[in-house]
Structure 1
Amino acid sequence: MIIENALQRLLLDNLTTATLLLDADLRLEYMNPAAEMLLAVSGQRNHGQFISELFTESPEALAALQQAVEQAHPFNKREAVLTSIAGQILTVDYSVTPVLNRGATLLLLEVHPRDRLLRITKEEAQLSKQESTKLLVRGLAHEIKNPLGGIRGAAQLLARELPDDNLKDYTNVIIEEADRLRNLVDRMLGSNKRLALSMTNVHEVLERVASLVEAESQGSITLVRDYDPSIPEVLIDREQMIQAALNIVRNALQAIASQNELRLGRITLRTRTLRQFTIGHVRHRLVAKLEIIDNGPGIPLELQDTLFFPMVSGRPDGTGLGLAITQTIISQHQGLIECESHPGHTLFSIFLPLEQGARHEPQ
């Protein structure tokens, strides 16, 4: 074993930076626990394996490593995309440092994952946009509701003064349209009801959504369940969470129907758990991940950055409120919603903290 000093090994084993040591043939000599966790492999079991059997990048990257051995030339690479042997895509920064040991050249790789940082940055931007939108909508709602109340009141007074009851049809139209606009504004603002929290199995929520969608589609769409039965109960408002998930699944159903016959459509409901996951500035030991996947036409690229804004819709007859309401509900549960989409594949991911007390840790 190349790392013979007990203190050196102790230090390497306790680094939070993923560290690998390769020999001159680019075969693994050592990897610390942080690297094992990042790549989801065992250093002991994979000792002596060629680097491409641990993860793959590009042929050019492999050539750069071989050149670093031959010329003893260190280099850094930013936002490299690695594929682990488990198929996971990782965005990382890494540095390569040639090290001489008893006349042989070794390569020290220090790998810094970027996925988490990029996701946190994206999430913070999304939350900032959401907060700005809330303030804008609340201000706009206040300015709309005040004159609406005056219009409605004036129409009621006018109706009392009209000599002919047939003319009241016109004032009724004014009153009904004023009420419709007020209800629309209320929906934009979201519910003011306090969450009715209770320990709930997330699969009960998804099964309720599935039964509603199967009824609406008359069983013509393929619904796939891919559940992790080990997920513990989570503290949520069951009815609100059903509404949040239903908004997404209904959107998927309508998108599929607009492109294909429903019998060709496929919606997958998947659940998993994640460890040490950060939402906002809080790191959670354990979160539930609910995924809703469809094979519809995908969300237009120009809409993806504003998808959760009120009144933004990809359908001519859409109100653009469903996903805005969903995001509000998820945020009230200290959760997070994300979306990835391209033609033939749209994925909505909902993350919900599973522990009662979240740890605040530095990022």
Structure 2
Amino acid sequence: MSISPLPAIAASAAELHPEPFWILDREVRFVWLNMAAQEWFGRSERALRGKPLSSLDRDIQEIHDLAERAIEEERTVVARQIRLRSRLVDLHLRWLADEDYLLVCLLPGTPNEASSDHGPALGFGRMLAHELKNPLASIRGAAQLIRNCGGDPEGAEMARLIIDDVDRIARLADHWSGVGDITLKSQQALNINQVVMAAIERIKRANPETLVRVFDDLDPSLPLGSGDADLLGQLVINLIQNAVDACETAESPRVIVRTSYTGAKRGKRSGNPVPLSISVVDNGAGIPASLQPNVFTPFVTSKPAGEGLGLAFCARIAELHSGILDFETRPGLTVFSLHLPQEALES
């Protein structure tokens, strides 16, 4: 099989593009590389054509694993913030169904830390924290009055839930207003499944009229993680709510929240294992290709009424927990996965 010929100007543009990209066949063998890819691998196209990707040095094993998965499932895979040869990169693997090839692109990684990219989100957070204080106090006071009236157990329980959520929001607001950034104020051993179940319950209470069905698929043997329960809970809530919004127009809209133990992943900065996985799966239309490279950037959103802060917030929380937040998407299936370290055992 040969690649369809490109017009001369398109071929030149591909060859001279400043970022490395290359094409693999179904056997994960090189078919073509642009000049930037040849420089990155340190080998010419002639030397690499027909050679398996696995024949190169072991520090690109993660590219090989992702390529195998994309080829096997015939879909696009995006992985952010992968450390390759002391460089953080975003990896985009796009399946070319008409040609039966995989196009692999390496793009400069967009750091998730609070930097100039996160300045607007942090400024908005400080303002939001300030504006929330008075209405939160009023809501909490009214809920306390309802709870203390007596005579209606169901009403008292609902009031308690309101108070719990108001207190949680107030704690999250304090994270922003205290130092002008999202920080870990507490870190303790956590049952990840409990964090997920609490998030699912809050989503169901917040969306009583939705037709989207939210399922859980939890690993009961999952070891303990560690971190800030409020921040991780809000991260999971954000991911589930995004998934619910994304699949509302699907024929049978559904969201699956899954926990699992995957030992292969490692933190990009620390290099330590991040085996605890929380995945949020939806059957919506998928993330538009134009948004995928910047999906974790503040104010990037496909929602008509969205501010585009939720995923930037999630990325920052993942980083604070020495974790990884990544996604895979195609029409009919989007998966956001949070990978966290296991709780350190006492020796």
Tell me the TM-score normalised to structure 1 length: 0.51
**Secondary structure of the corresponding residue to residue 253 of structure 1:** helix
1:201 and 2:196 correspond:
no
**Secondary structure of the corresponding residue to residue 293 of structure 1:** strand
1:133 and 2:117 correspond:
yes
Which residue of structure 1 aligns with residue 312 of structure 2?
324
Q: Answer 1 or 2: higher relative contact order, Cα 8 Å, separation at least 6.
A: 2
**Secondary structure of the corresponding residue to residue 89 of structure 2:** helix
**Aligned equivalents of 1:238 and 1:77: distance in 2?**
50
In the TM superposition, what is the alpha-carbon distance from 1:265 to its structure 2 partner? 0.7
Match of 2:299 among 308, 311, 320: 311
RMSD (Å), alpha carbons:
3.9
Match of 2:89 among 97, 100, 122: 122
Say whether the 8 Å CA contact 1:241–1:329 is kept in structure 2.
yes
Q: What's the CA shift string for 1:305-350, capped at 9, x where partnerless?
A: 1111111110111111111111121111111101121211111010
Match of 1:352 among 337, 340, 344: 340
**Secondary structure of the corresponding residue to residue 348 of structure 1:** strand
Percent of aligned positions that are identical: 23
Say whether the 8 Å CA contact 2:274–2:339 is kept in structure 1.
no
Change in Cα spacing, 1:122 to 1:219, as seen in structure 2 (3 Å) is same
1:282 and 2:229 correspond:
no
In the TM superposition, what is the alpha-carbon distance from 1:125 to its structure 2 partner? 1.1
In the TM superposition, what is the alpha-carbon distance from 1:270 to its structure 2 partner? 1.3
Say whether the 8 Å CA contact 2:196–2:233 is kept in structure 1.
yes
Q: What's the CA shift string for 1:184-243, capped at 9, x where partnerless?
A: xx69x9755543222111111111122222331447322232222221111111121111
Q: AA paired with 1:225?
A: D
Instruction: Provide runs of 4+ in structure 1 moved above 6 Å.
Output: 58-61
Match of 2:290 among 302, 306, 329: 302
Which residue of structure 1 aligns with residue 94 of structure 2?
none
**Secondary structure of the corresponding residue to residue 272 of structure 2:** strand
Which residue of structure 2 aligns with residue 237 of structure 1?
228
**Aligned equivalents of 1:133 and 1:350: distance in 2?**
21
Say whether the 8 Å CA contact 1:267–1:294 is kept in structure 2.
yes
**1:50-89 correspondence runs (5 A):** 57=27, 76=48, 80=52
1:271 and 2:259 correspond:
yes
Which residue of structure 1 aligns with residue 44 of structure 2?
none
Larger radius of gyration: 1
In the TM superposition, what is the alpha-carbon distance from 1:275 to its structure 2 partner? 2.2
Tell me the TM-score normalised to structure 2 length: 0.54
**Secondary structure of the corresponding residue to residue 298 of structure 2:** coil
1:260 and 2:258 correspond:
no
Say whether the 8 Å CA contact 2:188–2:228 is kept in structure 1.
yes
- How many residue pairs match? The answer is 222
**Aligned equivalents of 2:228 and 2:51: distance in 1?**
39
Say whether the 8 Å CA contact 1:231–1:272 is kept in structure 2.
yes
In the TM superposition, what is the alpha-carbon distance from 1:132 to its structure 2 partner? 3.8
Change in Cα spacing, 1:330 to 1:60, as seen in structure 2 (3 Å) is closer
Q: AA paired with 2:61?
A: R
Q: AA paired with 1:93?
A: S
Say whether the 8 Å CA contact 1:255–1:296 is kept in structure 2.
yes
Change in Cα spacing, 1:227 to 1:194, as seen in structure 2 (3 Å) is closer
Say whether the 8 Å CA contact 2:239–2:280 is kept in structure 1.
yes
Unaligned runs of 5+ in 2: 1-25, 32-46, 65-78, 91-107, 128-172
Name the structure where strand makes up a greater proportion of residues. 1
In the TM superposition, what is the alpha-carbon distance from 1:77 to its structure 2 partner? 5.4
Q: AA paired with 1:220?
A: L
In the TM superposition, what is the alpha-carbon distance from 1:76 to its structure 2 partner? 4.7
**Aligned equivalents of 2:50 and 2:116: distance in 1?**
32
Q: AA paired with 1:333?
A: H
In the TM superposition, what is the alpha-carbon distance from 1:130 to its structure 2 partner? 6.0
Q: AA paired with 1:126?
A: T
Change in Cα spacing, 1:225 to 1:128, as seen in structure 2 (3 Å) is closer
